[in-house]
Structure 1
């Protein structure tokens, strides 16, 4: 049953009844905070929404681990950003806004679905699940496997890297096994991120983060999910989650977490994005990962365009920036500090401008 408290007037009579949101506190196992490089084998984590039954939670966590695995290998990012001011001055100052929109696309391509290494449930009913990450050679996309074979072949034959790839085609069966180059696209994920900010007084600060994930093989894997939420001035709202077509209702429970041992928050969190965990672990994880991956756009292909006043008669000094890049990352570890979860990443720019 919900807890209640009452505000009273000067006579002591109750005037307003407020519902205090229920909360759940979970102690997370040490493995969740162990650096991934120190685990027994390469793996990736996925976390379900709170309060799901064990079967649905397991399947949702598995899909989310596939999502992070796909984004880790190669995320194709496109950004459109607009800077503009309004010709109409408000009573205090000119409105100046910055708006940016990202799309991030990735695919999980492999010969088979990865094995589940371990999983457990939190007090709030979240399933935390670890899947095996394939070895480097088995995780390459087919074109990358050819490239790798080319390099190996050239090294063995003493051929310059600029020579024809026919040498690799002759020896690819020797350098990469059939199982390693026979791939199916088992899952695709398409993410959308939106940010609107009032630059001058910060009175408006809106983030929207969402994705659609689809299993692509009706026999091997067909689970799917739509996920999205909005953050206004640092407060999360408007959560929407559908798993396999069924909407997961939003609840007003708040979730708090602690470690089973003391955890030192070092300087690495200053380079990361810490997200509040009151709505659960997964929103904090996927938000931190996606905004860090898109955050390296400054180092990628950039096209800057001046848009004339005809774009909108109320706007002036409009600049549009368009960027494309592909990025990969290593998920190094998680840090929990002051009610915020930090996903510490090592992000690498790949193939600037290639989609």
Structure 2
């Protein structure tokens, strides 16, 4: 029987980000790259912000979900996953476009608006305890019912689909020195690392994660995937334990991981709103937070920063403010 991290036995051989880009070209938004001279001055580098919060369903997750669903064999009755929200909404939307049902196991403390988004895109939500083990067990239950598992990150098609962010960036920005992206489960960062390797360019790929969910940094330092993980961070999309496939890719490409404080994440969200006028969720601001926290590392360099999502519960954020 398939488990939460297994791929469908009936699925085709793994694809690379370049092949994924060809299939997804008319299915996903080619998101813009934003710039701001004032933010450049703060770091001493040239910053290029990849606006994945403007992707369909509000995050980069739609890329991987769309590619994975497109590659499913005929006759599939439905799909299932576990998600803190963005992958669940993306999978629900991609599945509905193909006429399939989607079941999403979500932690009971998931952001309310992300739960609503899954349902708005046609997904059926199953709540579980807010632990990795509970999420994977919930997905295993859905698989036992005959659904095809499409996990949020530890899946070859998901990695290839997320890697199209890197394919687009390399085409959009000349002479890049580095790409910085957030890491939770690692599908985005691993996919970008593969896209850069596939391009033959000399571009450093760097991961960024909250200090309160630093399993990727600890795993890279230990040379193995750590299993003690109790995340405490406002970046809800980055609380997952890094995936086996993803970590192997990061290790093979020697991708460093920078960690940032909760205060740095909040400051980054404020700066992105103030300067770019963009609403970015905490997880989506982590990559910029890492660049802002380490200006000496990026000074004089052309750096792409992935703004991975914008699904922020603005209503909750504004609740309690005094009326005019």
TM-score normalized by the length of structure 2: 0.27
Q: Which has the higher helix share?
A: 2
Q: Which has the higher strand share?
A: 1
TM-score normalized by the length of structure 1: 0.25
